[in-house]
């Protein structure tokens, strides 16, 4: 059985390749989906079935044919495509209004964003392997200094992590690429340091290059990303996968910020315990 497509372009290739062998109804569905990808991203199954001239069960059967558990899982790839191809917020807003015919007011949007982010926060602890958290903290505790990098949307998370680590007195540097100096900043990372890279789909090339260089030099690397299939995951010593909320093609950062705050405070607790142990040992020696 072929692997379930993980991005829109792969799904598009699979649909094209399988098209001749599909039933007449599934071919009709395939044509509609590929001809109206923007509408597919947001409309309900009932509305799409009506527009495509098929039953809702046909849409679900179509998704199942390509390995998805349901139509909504496949629909996520259409939404991700919109995010990747329409990086401008104004263009996304127009796309959403065009596809759904909706013009939500500010209070409706606030409720939608709050509810979506509440849901991912509820799921975050259960989806995060405690062993990976401890391995990350082991790396950070041993490191002489922690270097943190996040490009584009991920910069917010990297910047906050740098701020938080400074406040627990951990030597920290933000790899910000100022003046296009990513390469120079990475070369300044010592073998006794550690690197944290934050990167989400479509995975900024700058982040890939920095992670590649760290891997080549044997620098301990922790990655926060959105999938174990991320190109950065294969390079990391520890990969922490975070699923963020998405509302009308706008992705949040709430879960990532919560995770980084947890890592920083947990590291601070470790450091504080280490200082207490050292103080006790010093006191015992003097006695």
Domain parsing of the chain, residue ranges: 8-100, 122-283
What is the C-alpha radius of gyration for the chain, rounded to an integer number of angstroms? Answer: 23
CA distance 200 to 248: 17
Give the fold, CATH level 3, of 8-100.
Arc Repressor Mutant, subunit A (1.10.10)
Q: Is 157 exposed, middle or buried (CB count within 10 Å of its CB: 0-12, 13-18, 19+)?
A: buried
Given a contact cutoff of 8 angstroms between Cβ atoms, the answer to whether 11 and 77 are in contact is yes
Domains 8-100 and 122-283 are alike in CATH topology = no
Q: Provide block-wise average pLDDT over 10 residues at a time, the chain (287 residues).
A: 81 89 92 83 86 93 94 88 61 58 75 87 92 97 96 94 96 90 88 95 89 93 89 93 80 93 96 80 68
As beta bridge partners, residue 241 has: 225
- Entry pTM: 0.68
Give the fold, CATH level 3, of 122-283.
Rossmann fold (3.40.50)
The pLDDT value given to residue 16 = 87
Given a contact cutoff of 8 angstroms between Cβ atoms, the answer to whether 63 and 52 are in contact is no
Given CA atoms 261, 265, 270, 274 in this order, what sign does their dihedral have?
Answer: positive
The pLDDT value given to residue 97 = 59
Nearest to 196 by CA among 150, 152, 154: 150
The pLDDT value given to residue 202 = 78
The pLDDT value given to residue 287 = 61
């Amino acid at each position: 059985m072929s692997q379930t497509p993980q991005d829109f372009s792969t799904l598009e290739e699979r649909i094209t390749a399988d098209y001749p062998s599909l039933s007449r109804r599934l071919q009709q569905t395939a044509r509609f989906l590929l001809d109206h990808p923007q509408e597919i991203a947001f409309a309900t199954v009932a509305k799409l079935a009506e527009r495509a001239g098929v039953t809702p069960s046909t849409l679900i059967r179509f998704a199942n044919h390509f390995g998805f558990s349901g139509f909504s899982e496949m629909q996520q790839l259409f939404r991700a495509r919109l995010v990747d191809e329409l990086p401008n917020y104004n263009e996304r807003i127009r796309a959403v209004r065009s596809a759904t015919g909706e013009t939500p007011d500010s209070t409706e949007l606030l409720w939608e964003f709050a509810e979506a982010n509440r849901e991912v926060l509820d799921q975050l602890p259960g989806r995060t392997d405690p062993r990976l958290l401890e391995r990350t903290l082991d790396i950070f505790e041993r490191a002489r200094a922690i270097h943190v990098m996040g490009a584009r949307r991920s910069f917010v998370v990297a910047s906050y992590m740098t701020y938080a680590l400074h406040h627990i007195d951990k030597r920290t540097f933000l790899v910000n690429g100022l003046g296009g100096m990513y390469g120079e900043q990475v070369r300044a990372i010592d073998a006794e340091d550690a690197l944290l890279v934050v990167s989400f789909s479509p995975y900024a090339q700058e982040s890939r290059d920095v992670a590649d260089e760290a891997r080549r030099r044997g620098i301990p690397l922790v990655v926060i990303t959105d999938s174990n299939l991320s190109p950065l995951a294969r390079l990391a010593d520890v990969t922490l996968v975070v699923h963020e909320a998405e509302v009308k093609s706008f992705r949040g950062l709430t879960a990532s910020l919560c995770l980084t705050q947890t890592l920083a405070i947990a590291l601070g607790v470790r450091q504080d315990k280490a200082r207490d142990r050292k103080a006790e040992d010093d006191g015992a020696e003097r006695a």
